[in-house]
A and B are shown apart, each in its own frame.
Chain A
Amino acid sequence: DADVTQTPRNRITKTGKRIMLECSQTKGHDRMYWYRQDPGLGLRLIYYSFDVKDINKGEISDGYSVSRQAQAKFSLSLESAIPNQTALYFCATSERDIRKRGEQFFGPGTRLTVL
């Protein structure tokens, strides 16, 4: 079984709709991240969480919110989706160990299309 899972894998929605992307992990890692990937722009950090009570904005958090329901679960919400939020979304995890904090483990991604 995959260590980091994301649901749904694909989603098509309309402008203005609220969307939630979910991420679960069985790696036992404290740290979780949400990224979006756009052609030519690479992976950009939306939000990250170092534990259940510690949530931080990344470089492109506007229009997004997150919830860390448990150590193993981290959800990303688009409150009112817009077309320029069409992208690939990835969840990732990493260990608390300061020596391994740069080593991230990614889920398979969610392809989101906003019409």
Chain B
Amino acid sequence: TQLLEQSPQFLSIQEGENLTVYCNSSSVFSSLQWYRQEPGEGPVLLVTVVTGGEVKKLKRLTFQFGDARKDSSLHITAAQTGDTGLYLCAGGWSTSGTYKYIFGTGTRLKVLA
């Protein structure tokens, strides 16, 4: 069974601090996405990574896909209160001719002013 474990589950930091969120699995994914979800809304896609070792930047957010495509990290530089939300990773893989997709349980981030 494919599982995506995210750590930490909860994170509360002061504005201006840096942080890293991790997404780990024992299995290989063909692609991995990161989403952010705010209260009362659906998840919003932030980025897709597909190549082992790939690094993508979105303003103050840096996403990295592990070399073996089993894990990923999200690093936020100089966090702002607007970064508060639930961060979800999700990964897909093909098996027996079908495509499977699962979500991690999420990291809930609170950035304090």
Per-position binary interface string of chain A over residues 93-106, scored 1 when its CB falls under 8 Å from any chain B CB and 0 otherwise: 00000011111111
> Is B52's beta carbon under 8 Å from chain A?
no
A40-B105, A42-B103, A45-B101 given as contacts; is B42 within 8 A of A102 (CB)?
no
Cβ contact of A92, chosen from B32, B42, B48, B99, cutoff 8 A: B42
Q: Which residue of chain A has its CB nearest to the CB of B106?
A: A42
Q: Check A103 against B106 for contact (C-beta < 8 Å).
A: no
Bound-state CA distance A112–B71 (Å) is: 33
> Is A43's beta carbon under 8 Å from chain B?
yes
Bound-state CA distance A105–B41 (Å) is: 12
Q: Which residue of chain B has its CB nearest to the CB of A35?
A: B103
Q: Check B43 against A43 for contact (C-beta < 8 Å).
A: yes
Bound-state CA distance A40–B105 (Å) is: 6
> Is B45's beta carbon under 8 Å from chain A?
yes
Per-position binary interface string of chain B over residues 79-113, scored 1 when its CB falls under 8 Å from any chain A CB and 0 otherwise: 00000000010111000000101111110000000
Which residues of A34-51 have CB atoms within 8 Å of chain B's CB atoms? 35, 40-45
Bound-state CA distance A109–B88 (Å) is: 16
Per-position binary interface string of chain B over residues 6-41, scored 1 when its CB falls under 8 Å from any chain A CB and 0 otherwise: 000000000000000000000000111100000011
A30 to chain B, nearest CB (A): 13
A102-B31, A108-B40 given as contacts; is B88 within 8 A of A43 (CB)?
yes
Q: Check B42 against A107 for contact (C-beta < 8 Å).
A: yes
> Is A74's beta carbon under 8 Å from chain B?
no
A-B complex: 4 closest residue pairs judged by Cβ atoms: A106-B42, A42-B105, A102-B92, A43-B103
